[in-house]
Amino acid sequence: MGSVSPVGKLRNKITIQSTDLSGDTYGGYSTSRSTYITAYAQITPKVGKQIFSDTTGERIQNPQDFEFTIRYRTGLTTSMRILFGSRTFNIKSIHNDNEYDKYIKILATENVGT
């Protein structure tokens, strides 16, 4: 049997959002999000860890890193975020897989409790 091509593994629909800053009438800024692209991705869980409070010993965070593999796109930055269903992920790094301009690997951390 043949193996599944990398394109066949891109089965999870994700949305990548950019951050837009706009000035308000008081000299400050407001932040809004807009859809940059919608793509299909392979999602792979990576590093998981727990962070505990130094004073109480209670768990205060449980961040999980994920790797998203999508077809090559230009213009992605680490200031963007990924939406997958009801989950939100902050982009930590973006790598052009093997510098062939075919796939991009995005490392992102899930926002737990937001």
Is the pTM value of this prediction over 0.85? no
Residue 99's pLDDT is what?
Answer: 86
Burial of 66: CB neighbours in 10 Å, binned 0-12, 13-18, 19+: buried
Residue 2's pLDDT is what?
Answer: 47
**By residue range, what is the domain housing residue 102?**
6-110
Query: Is the separation of the CB atoms in 97 and 71 below 8 Å?
Result: no
User: Is residue 31, in this structure, part of any structural domain at all?
Assistant: yes
Residue 12's pLDDT is what?
Answer: 96
pLDDT tens digits for range 8-52: 789 999 999 999 888 888 888 888 999 999 999 999 998 766 666
Residue 57's pLDDT is what?
Answer: 64
User: Is residue 86, in this structure, part of any structural domain at all?
Assistant: yes
Burial of 3: CB neighbours in 10 Å, binned 0-12, 13-18, 19+: exposed
User: Is residue 65, in this structure, part of any structural domain at all?
Assistant: yes
Is the C-alpha dihedral spanning 8, 110, 37, 13 positive or negative? positive
Torsions phi, psi of 87, nearest 5? Answer: -100, 150
Torsions phi, psi of 92, nearest 5? Answer: -100, -40
More confident residue, 71 or 99: 71
Q: Which CATH number is 65's domain given?
A: 2.40.10.270
Chain-wide mean pLDDT for the chain?
A: 85
Other C-beta atoms lying within 10 Å of the C-beta of residue 37: 15
Question: What is the number of structural domains in the chain?
Answer: 1
User: Is residue 105, in this structure, part of any structural domain at all?
Assistant: yes
User: Is residue 1, in this structure, part of any structural domain at all?
Assistant: no
Residue 71's pLDDT is what?
Answer: 94
Residues 6+ apart with CB under 8 A from 9: 42, 69
